[in-house]
Amino acid sequence: MEKSKVKKAGPQKLLSNVISLVRFAIGEAQVLEPFSDTIDHRFAAWLSQQERLGRDFSAEQLEWLNMIKEHIAASLRIAMDDFELAPFYENGGAVRFNHLFGEESTEILSELNEALAA
């Protein structure tokens, strides 16, 4: 792609948007939209599902969930090692994440990887 012909998309967005293009081309997606938009819709659906299941998140947990969503939108997946990177590291890294989500930490990451990047 010629960078001058693609507006409002840095290299990271261009790479993740290839996924949307391929899914559309092979018929897995009905609408061609930026990958980050797809992730936003899936994240909102996941949060609604959690609410229906009675799982409430604090404001700080929601901040972390949004950081995780943004990471998945750019990198397609998240793993515990990623908490050594920005913006996670500046916010306490894996230690803080584990403190906030406790025994559900691994489950949350697994759910988000499956729900957002599937």
Task: Tell me the per-residue pLDDT of 50-101, one tens digit each, with 9 for 90 and over.
Answer: 999 999 999 999 999 999 999 999 888 999 999 999 999 999 999 999 999 9
| 0.85 surpassed by pTM | no
Mapped onto helix, strand or coil, the DSSP state of residue 55 is: coil
**Tens of pLDDT along 2-44?**
444 444 445 555 565 676 667 667 777 677 778 888 899 999 9
CA 99/CA 8 separation, integer angstroms = 36
Distance CA(32)–CA(8), nearest Å, equals 16
| Res 29: pLDDT | 66
Q: What pLDDT score does 1 carry? A: 45
Q: What is the DSSP letter of 89?
A: G
Residue 118, token pair as written in the block: 């599937």
What's the pLDDT at 26?
A: 79
DSSP for 99-118 reads HHHGGGHHHHHHHHHHHHH-
Dihedral of alpha carbons 104, 108, 111, 115, sign? positive
Q: Coil, helix or strand for 19?
A: helix
Cα distance between the two ends of the chain: 25
Taking the domains of the chain in order of start, what are their residue ranges? 35-117
pLDDT of residue 75: 87
